[in-house]
Amino acid sequence: MAAIKHDSHYIDGVFQAARSAERISVVNPATEEAFASIVDGDAADVDAAVRAAEAAGGEWAALGFVKRAEYLRRLADAYEARIDEISELVTRQNGTPISVSRAMQSQVVLNYRYFASLAENMTEEEPIQTSVGDALVRRDPVGVVGAITPWNGPQPLLAWKIGPALAAGCTVVIKPAPETSLDSFLFAEIAAQAGIPAGVVNVVTGGRETGSALVEHPLVRKIAFTGSTVAGKAIAEACGRDLKRVTLELGGKSAAILLEDVDLEAFKPFVATACSPNTGQICRSLTRVLAPRSRYDEVVDAVGAAMSEIPIGDPTDPANLFGPLVSERQRERVESYLELGRREGAKAVVGGGRPEAYPRGYYVEPTVFRDVTNDMRIAREEIFGPVLVVIPYEDEAEAIAIANDSEYGLGGGVFSQDREHATEVARRIVTGTIGVNSASFPMEAPFGGVKNSGMGRELGPGSLDPYLEQKTIFRSV
């Protein structure tokens, strides 16, 4: 198969030759083979895209919410027609198992339709009555948005940003992760097919410097970022200097609290879907499993058995739920934590190395550590791989304290046969989202984190608010 070579960006409705001469290789993590290259965009590339977005902003904003909702529905329809193509490309880029990738892309379609429905129920102006007369509260788009997306769920996390941005009347410059940039070119084609006007959606590929140029561009008025906490803090600092709006969805080290009465057979399916989804490369993963000491060995056995039963292998095989990690660097990072856990005194009851059946590809065995305390680094730092730690607690007060003793606060879960009691425990966890016997986070509810897990919210009925400025018009009688 011929190598895929992209020497352009998508700017102002067309694929334009890049200004930068630098390139980045795209590697298939299942084969360790480079199969594509993209442009490592520079400040000139970013400037061209931002200026195209700025120029297109006036006409796009003038369309109004209802008309923009029509475009979003066309975008959803065009995207739906290419789900298989996008899914296969994402799997090839980052190793996401194909069944997981297809489920993600199906959700993208629903996301765009949801944001369209929100737009249809918005009005540009709302009359209000004040103590000194009547007034109008007007909603205007903030302007050009920089959408910076990660590699682990490139299209869903893009939809969470570009959907409400377009609905609000903003224009967008997308900077995808270098590992998963190829699907962004497909998205650009889909946007054009849906009739999105030139300049409203732009794509510039590249690495860290490309992202920095986008964040610091004076015409960009909002940044929406999903990625690491370190990068998020740097972006927040840069946005703070220019008083730009910013939404950050960052890392996590979330806890699954198993209460004394937990039904372990009912919990075991959550090991794959909540504790280690997408081969553990999801920031909301419940990677700390908190178990009552009276049932600790039982919980360790159940979690270990559930991890062992998750099929791992070729990500293009729909039967597999775990694939390779995204890159050699990520595998090295995860393996460093496996060694660190052993040095800290934890014991790997499952996994702990590379699977012998897959000598090629960036695979790591699904791993469960026992004899873990919450002060160990494997319990405090985000590993971003298929690694779970099981931590004992004496009573519910200690379980809550352990769950909250973290610099992160993105996800969480409480598992019990008593739904109402579990809900009371969930209320006491300091986090942005938490499930009770559930791993879902529906698009109709806000999603985001607290502490080092970020700031702001995506999804939910207020999705458009971060992309809108309110202007009050006072009127005399």
Q: Is residue 447 part of a domain?
A: no
CATH (domain of 407): 3.40.309.10
Please indicate, yes or no, whether residues 96 and 33 belong to a single structural domain of this protein.
yes
Q: Is residue 448 part of a domain?
A: no
> Known catalytic residues?
249, 283
Please indicate, yes or no, whether residues 379 and 353 belong to a single structural domain of this protein.
yes
> Residue 2: its pLDDT value, please?
57
Beta strands in 30-157 (DSSP E): 33-39, 125-130, 133-141, 144-148
Please indicate, yes or no, whether residues 270 and 163 belong to a single structural domain of this protein.
no
Q: Is residue 184 part of a domain?
A: yes
Q: Is residue 320 part of a domain?
A: yes
DSSP 38-70: EE---HHHHHHHHHHHHHHHHHHHHT-HHHHHH
Q: Is residue 328 part of a domain?
A: yes
Q: Is residue 335 part of a domain?
A: yes
Question: 10-residue block means of pLDDT along the chain (477 residues)?
Answer: 86 97 97 97 98 98 98 98 97 97 97 98 93 92 98 97 98 97 97 98 98 98 97 97 97 98 98 96 97 98 98 97 97 98 98 95 98 98 98 98 98 98 98 95 95 97 97 88
> Measured between alpha carbons, how far is 291 from 270 in angstroms, rounded to an integer?
15
Please indicate, yes or no, whether residues 230 and 349 belong to a single structural domain of this protein.
no
* 3-state class (DSSP) for residue 450: coil
Please indicate, yes or no, whether residues 132 and 264 belong to a single structural domain of this protein.
no
The greatest distance separating any two alpha carbons of the chain, rounded to the nearest whole angstrom, comes to 80
> Measured between alpha carbons, how far is 112 from 109 in angstroms, rounded to an integer?
5
Please indicate, yes or no, whether residues 42 and 168 belong to a single structural domain of this protein.
yes
Structure tokens at 425: 């425990």
> Measured between alpha carbons, how far is 383 from 8 in angstroms, rounded to an integer?
34
Please indicate, yes or no, whether residues 39 and 106 belong to a single structural domain of this protein.
yes
Please indicate, yes or no, whether residues 79 and 199 belong to a single structural domain of this protein.
yes
Q: Is residue 68 part of a domain?
A: yes
pTM > 0.75: yes or no: yes
Please indicate, yes or no, whether residues 193 and 272 belong to a single structural domain of this protein.
no
> Residue 133: its pLDDT value, please?
86
Please indicate, yes or no, whether residues 395 and 457 belong to a single structural domain of this protein.
no
β-pairing, 144-148 vs 220-226, is parallel
> Residue 3: its pLDDT value, please?
84
Asked if residue 179 lies in contact with residue 206, where contact means CB atoms within 8 angstroms, the answer is no
> Residue 426: its pLDDT value, please?
98
Please indicate, yes or no, whether residues 210 and 290 belong to a single structural domain of this protein.
no
CATH (domain of 112): 3.40.605.10
CA angle in degrees (0–180, nearest 5) for 211-212-213: 90
Asked if residue 349 lies in contact with residue 380, where contact means CB atoms within 8 angstroms, the answer is no
Q: Is residue 46 part of a domain?
A: yes
3-class SS string, 213-268: HHHHCCCEEEEEEECCHHHHHHHHHHHHHHCCEEEEECCCCCEEEECCCCCHHHHC
The total domain count for the chain is 2
Phi, psi for 317 (deg, rounded to 5): -90, 115
Domain that holds residue 382: 255-442
Query: Would you say the C-alpha torsion 357, 314, 385, 309 has a positive or negative sign?
Result: negative
> Residue 450: its pLDDT value, please?
98
Please indicate, yes or no, whether residues 336 and 198 belong to a single structural domain of this protein.
no
